[in-house]
Structure 1
Amino acid sequence: MEFHLLPVHRGDPPIQVPRTQYVCTGLYDGGPWLSYPARKGKAEKFKDGTFDLMDYSRSERINPTPIKEQESFFQTWLYFGIIAEFMGVNSEDSINDPTSAEVIRSIYSEILDPDGDQTYVKLDVACLEKLLVMGRIRLSSDPVVRRQHYEHVIRCLAYMHPIIISVPDEFDYSIKWSIAALGELFMVSVRAALQALHAPSDFARSWGNKFLNKDAKRSMMEHGWCRSDIARAEAKYQGIQSLYIARMLDKSLPPRNHSQCTNSACKSYQINMGHYVSEHQHLLCSCETLVVEEEALLPALLDGDHYPLLRFEGGVGDLTCEIVKSGTKPYIAISHVWADGLGNPFANSLYRCKLHHLQKLVDAINDKESTTSPGNGERSLVWLDTLCCPAQDGDGKQKSIEKIRLVYRQAKHVLVLDAGLMSYQSQSQDASEIIKRIFTSSWMRRLWTLQEGALATSLYFQFADQAVNFSAVTQLVWAASTSKSMSYRALQPDFVNETRCLQAFFNNPTPLSLADSLNLLDRALQFRSVSVASDEPLCIATLLSFDLHAVLQLRDQESRMEKVWELVIAKHGGIPSQIIFFEEQKLSRPGWRWAPKTLLNSQSGLHGPNTRITRWFDPHLAVPEHPHGLRVKYPGVQISLKPDYGDGKPRNPWIGAPRLPEDWVQYRSLDDGRWYRIIDQKFAALNNSWTTDEERREYHKQGLYPVHDVANTGRSVLVLNNIPGVREALFATTVSEVSEFIEAVPAAVTTKLNAMLSDLKEESYIYDVVEKIALSVRADEVTDQHLALCKKLNIDENTSLDVFKDLLANHEDFIASTASVKEKIKEELARAVGDDEKFRTLIDTYWGVSYREDFWVVVRNFFHHDYVGKRTGDEQAWYID
């Protein structure tokens, strides 16, 4: 990946550029790229022109390809083969064409880098440009032919993407990501080529998922990264180019202790207001504090739209401060991270050395932009929250918060002070490194700083050597990304998203729609934090230009957040219905339990933050009707226990048999006869996070059955997301008994959990057979004998688990009876496997050959899962709470 943009400041010693070993066993054959697997005898796993990831995964499960063989095959096909395809070398005739063979040999000659007894793949900018020149010579000048070629390359990349991102974890990291990086590079190049031809160019894929593996993360943390910053980078950046810069970026200055940090929070920047200590500019300094009395601030704060500004005079020893009412005089507003020591929650005071240094930084900006009269003797006015906002609660403090919007909006410049940025020289850095440092700085992790940066009409970031104008550096990045630099083009999507989060709230040329404003808000707030939870609604109200006074009248976080959602609905006539499918914590007051409690750190859920962002674009707006909840229209499924079996036996006739740990619940549809599976999204997210079987066992020891608990209420419904291809639902209970749903009449429900719904399709046949076996054994005398023994022992389905454990450990007749049931089930199952080839094949395909031996427990637990589902209308009305 040597063609990637590389930071200058990579630590001491510098982080090494990863190298990719060459593992191919031969050259690419020069034939058409899509049919290469067929030519190599792999047509059953890679169909020419189509690729089904599920089919491929099942095929690999039954007949796995050795990892080394996969690495060699994929490097030949997906790396060298795609380069040849991009250059227009491959064709049906090329296999035996000496000219094409010579070009392919040239590709290998340019890329392979022998080093001792190892050979590496090295594709740097110069090599890439040489290959592209060779490709341009071969490509027709006819725009129609060129367009067809680029559209064909897009088809190849669309085929390639799911293959390379789904390789197993054992697959060599550098080989995988050299292929994925090449795919990303060609994607942005082809899109640019199609745009130049005025052809549609909306093809996009995210190539960077899981780019930061354990080794990469360990290296980043060794070079000063907080694990929460790494998690943020993974969530925010979709492109390998963006993630690669982050991967190689040293952030060890200033030294910070991140040992107690988590994936969701940086503890080193969490402020304990009760123990906050202001800092000197230098450790050995012993200067005194400069104090601003609240009485001096109030005249400006209580006068219309005015607010106090600061004029400093003198040096550290004799520094004085004059309060100036805002008006016509220009000033620079300071935006800073309080954890860096420039705050004070107890009083409007700071050490004089800090303020003197601050004034020097402000003066440097004025001197830099004033070419005609640098250093004209008049110091710039300053606004700094620590001195200009009363520290104690009261009218003055409330007024200052209400005027924050005016302060930062009317400032000539806003200067950002962040210790991490101020530790590195800017002039030695490329624009890509500067912008990445800004976007991954601690300043980007705090909530109050978001509105301060968003409101600014001119924004500066202070580095060790100078303040960098944000607009100027973004223009440099944009110019490079729109030029011929493919690496900068690959950076562009993530760069645009981050830049919009700072500039689009107030500096957008056109008003934002509801979807755009909420989408922007969500992106901007992710992974930011605030020391006082009730401040979040204030910042949101500012960013959305709402009446801040109305929110300030409420004191607690939930009431303020409720008011924010109220204001959104009042302004836009509703809120996107998809909000009900958020996985994050909701408000607690009845009637508002559909509304997110916070938009800050996303909890660890099944879906990433980007899934949440897309929900804001739902065109269907919903409104709350209190006290019922949010009124929406979605399809639904009424879930109920299967009616009585008519044999007088308990629902679960094998009393004492332990239940399977709950991984899911299935039900048979009364509408189409197929089986469906309900999975708790929280469990699915946990399952994805587990790395050992021990973690799974420890979880299941808790004996949790959340999906069963909802299904067994007799009032359970699935409210289905109606987006095509989306399988999620809310599993809820109706507030009152409902025998039949009527589309136009809203059914009031209380959400219990977020679920995933899977149509089992072929797998339905497994449960058809399981049902037959379960019913057969249920009717067998071995079950009657077992129930007779249970009656004699005076035990039933409601007997405590401890009693059953004691019986299974000490009662010979009970042990023998349960063993007889087990053997009967296994006997029936063995017969079905032996007689029914379809059943046997499906078990091996979906459950795995090794699972067949223990499959009898699925039959044994069948009656714990025996639910039926009936669809409601496609536009069933609901009150969601």
Structure 2
Amino acid sequence: MIASGWCISMVEYMQEKLPLQAQAFAFSLGSVRTFQDHSICKDDVSTGCMLSRVDETFKTKHVEAGCACDFVSPSTEDVVQKLKDGLIPIITIMRPVDDSGKFELVVDGIELSDRGPYGVCPYFAVTHVWSDGLGNPDGNALPYCQIARLESLTRSLRGTFVDNVSRNHGTTAYEAETVAFWLDTLCIPVQKEHQKLRDFSIQKMQEIYMAAGGVLVLDPDLQQLSSTTRPVEVLSRVLTSGWRARLWTFQEGMLAFELLIPGQDCCFTFSSEEDLFFQDMAQTEIVERLLLETLWWNYSDSKGNSLTKSDISKEPVRAAWVLLKAIAHRRTTRPGDETICIATFLGIDPTPLLKTPPGERMPVLLSLLPAIPAHILFTHGARLQSNGYRWAPQTFLSPYGLLDSDQLSLPLTYVPDTSKPDARVPIPGPFLHPGGLGLAVYFPALRIHRSSNIKPTPEVFSVCTLANGTYLVEARDTGTKVTWPSVAPDQMEHSAILLSNPEYGRISLLVEVLGETTEGEVIAKWKSIVAVDRLGDFLEDASIDKAEETCLEGGYSPFRWWVID
């Protein structure tokens, strides 16, 4: 695929997330992005697709190369005034009433809390990747050809939910028989004197996408779709689009009441699996149906649903976990945007982050989280260097963060009394230690006893316990650029392995034990991620033999509080 022009970052995503048949199908469809030169993307795969990044040379694009039509903008004064009034500006494209052929952009203001009987407001929000050409760092304007294309797209929304909502409101758009929209390029002032209004818009980002009657996805690959395109191709193109790979578009898709996929003369909306199949099920071949099911599973991770949105306020730990899993496959041009995007998705006021230098925002974000998932301990990548936060990664974005290949699944309950195996209770949630010592978590562990005859610990070894048998331990590449010999158990006076699974271990965490607090919490330092399996499980003989060459004495420690830095 790389030889055929695909970006290496997209290929790596497909290899991790999509089965071979889905990869082969995507390859057969091709992509407009394969006509670009992605050779520079191979120099450093951690940066993602270099062609999707925006720098000071970025220029707003026209629909067709060589077009030189004039730019069109809404009234900046109207946009600014709406924001000053605490409203969100939305745009209606008014068709020309004479032979001038000129569209007019009319600005209305909307109160996001006034969602009416439908639970949404009468507008759609546009989600796009700036590098595709719809961004404009110099003004709230777009080329006339882009405005004309947007006007055409609004016509493709006839019959959709947001169209029906719009028709039941006495808005400017209703009177013009169209649908109003919100687009960052036109609705967020770029002038320096309006920085406070820009910050206000960012604070409202979650609400803007949640309140919209739909979220319209703009991407070059999706614009090739037509009314005759089968759902299997639509889903494949969405999953392999540049839109799917960017950080900001994650929340824009996940918060959507309905995701709108516009084509040349149509608009696709898939709310459930039933929407994927044609009425005549016999026309959908079994191979296509199986592929659809696979693609739908991944597509669901990119679109909003009521469960995810309710989790944001009701189950913040689960919401954060969903977020961290998804953004491990995404990137952003400006690293400082990562924490802002995470905060706005989770409904956290980003003001403290906006006031903090970009390189210092991650600890601030972690301190603002209403709940912290313990999964963060098992993320890949270099760690923060701030005291009390050295357990956390510098970034959650690709190629680091929570990797699907680790198949991490933390239990929700445990058995405090082994004599009553059916009496399970919830595991207490993690929290930042009030003394600034680190992240407090409730885990079982293997305590490793330091031998008097210290030898270098290899990357595959075993820990022998009297009560729980022997555990096979394998070092993992954590992306920290710290070598195993420098963090191996032989380098520490006291060490332990926090087990993600009390029965089997699986992906686990090697820590250096430093002592205990007066409350009996174990104070420890984050060292490395390891894979743990109990011997007796199905393992390759070669791994067992190698592990038994270095067997460290240890003991099983049941669930207790650990404070990790």
Which TM-score bucket, shorter chain as reference? Answer: 0.7 to 0.9
Q: Which residue of 1 aligns with 2:504?
A: 725
Relative distance call for 1:576 and 1:281 in structure 2 (3 A) is closer
1:232 aligns with 2:33: no
Matches within 5 A, 1:286-685: 286-291=68-73, 294-312=76-94, 314=96, 318-326=102-110, 330-366=122-158, 378=177, 380-393=179-192, 394-422=195-223, 424-463=224-263, 465-471=264-270, 475-477=274-276, 486-487=286-287, 488-489=289-290, 491-492=292-293, 494-504=295-305, 513-514=315-316, 516-549=318-351, 551-556=353-358, 558-560=360-362, 562-564=364-366, 566-569=368-371, 575-603=372-400, 608-609=403-404, 611=406, 614-615=409-410, 620=427, 621-625=429-433, 626-632=435-441, 633-642=443-452, 663-664=458-459, 666=461, 669=464, 671=466, 678-682=473-477
Relative distance call for 1:229 and 1:843 in structure 2 (3 A) is closer
1:745 aligns with 2:520: yes
Q: Distance in 1 between matches of 2:261 and 2:536?
A: 56
Q: Which residue of 2 aligns with 1:276?
A: 58
Q: Distance in 2 between matches of 1:481 and 1:514?
A: 42
Q: Which residue of 2 aligns with 1:8?
A: none
**Higher radius of gyration, 1 or 2:** 1
Q: Distance in 2 between matches of 1:507 and 1:673?
A: 39
Relative distance call for 1:395 and 1:375 in structure 2 (3 A) is closer
Matches within 5 A, 1:91-102: none
Of Structure 1 and Structure 2, the greater helix share is in: 1
Relative distance call for 1:576 and 1:703 in structure 2 (3 A) is closer
1:440 Cα deviation from its structure 2 partner: 1.9
Using the TM superposition, name which of 353-362 and 265-274 deviates more: 265-274
Letter in 1 for 2:448: Q
Q: Distance in 2 between matches of 1:519 and 1:242?
A: 26
Tell me the secondary structure at the aligned position of residue 471 of structure 1: coil
Q: Distance in 2 between matches of 1:585 and 1:399?
A: 32
Provide the aligned C-alpha RMSD in A: 4.4
Contact kept, 8 Å, 1:679 with 1:755, in 2: the verdict is yes
**How big is each residue's C-alpha offset from its partner over 1:456-488, in whole Å with a ceiling of 9 and x where there is no partner?**
33432222x224232378543267899996442
Contact kept, 8 Å, 2:6 with 2:33, in 1: the verdict is no
Contact kept, 8 Å, 1:641 with 1:712, in 2: the verdict is no
Q: Distance in 2 between matches of 1:616 and 1:322?
A: 53
Tell me the secondary structure at the aligned position of residue 347 of structure 1: coil
Q: Distance in 1 between matches of 2:159 and 2:499?
A: 61
TM-score, normalised to structure 2's length?
A: 0.77
Letter in 2 for 1:525: I
**How big is each residue's C-alpha offset from its partner over 1:335-373, in whole Å with a ceiling of 9 and x where there is no partner?**
221111110123223222222332232234349968x9x
Q: Distance in 2 between matches of 1:473 and 1:703?
A: 46
TM-score, normalised to structure 1's length?
A: 0.51
Q: Which has the higher contact order (CA 8 A, sep 6+)?
A: 2
1:703 Cα deviation from its structure 2 partner: 9.2
Q: Distance in 2 between matches of 1:568 and 1:388?
A: 30
Letter in 2 for 1:289: F
Contact kept, 8 Å, 1:731 with 1:752, in 2: the verdict is yes
1:244 Cα deviation from its structure 2 partner: 4.5
Q: Which residue of 1 aligns with 2:555?
A: 871
1:624 Cα deviation from its structure 2 partner: 2.2
Q: Distance in 2 between matches of 1:384 and 1:480?
A: 35
Letter in 2 for 1:642: S
Relative distance call for 1:254 and 1:389 in structure 2 (3 A) is farther
Aligned residues: 521
Contact kept, 8 Å, 2:225 with 2:234, in 1: the verdict is no
Letter in 2 for 1:321: L
Q: Percent identity of the aligned residues?
A: 23
Q: Distance in 1 between matches of 2:406 and 2:280?
A: 27
Q: Which residue of 1 aligns with 2:67?
A: 285
Contact kept, 8 Å, 1:587 with 1:597, in 2: the verdict is yes
Contact kept, 8 Å, 2:89 with 2:107, in 1: the verdict is no
Q: Distance in 2 between matches of 1:845 and 1:722?
A: 20
Contact kept, 8 Å, 1:337 with 1:442, in 2: the verdict is yes
Letter in 1 for 2:149: H
**How big is each residue's C-alpha offset from its partner over 1:522-555, in whole Å with a ceiling of 9 and x where there is no partner?**
3432312222223223322333333444554544
1:754 aligns with 2:551: no
Contact kept, 8 Å, 2:379 with 2:403, in 1: the verdict is no
Matches within 5 A, 1:15-34: none
Letter in 2 for 1:711: D
Q: Distance in 1 between matches of 2:467 and 2:174?
A: 81
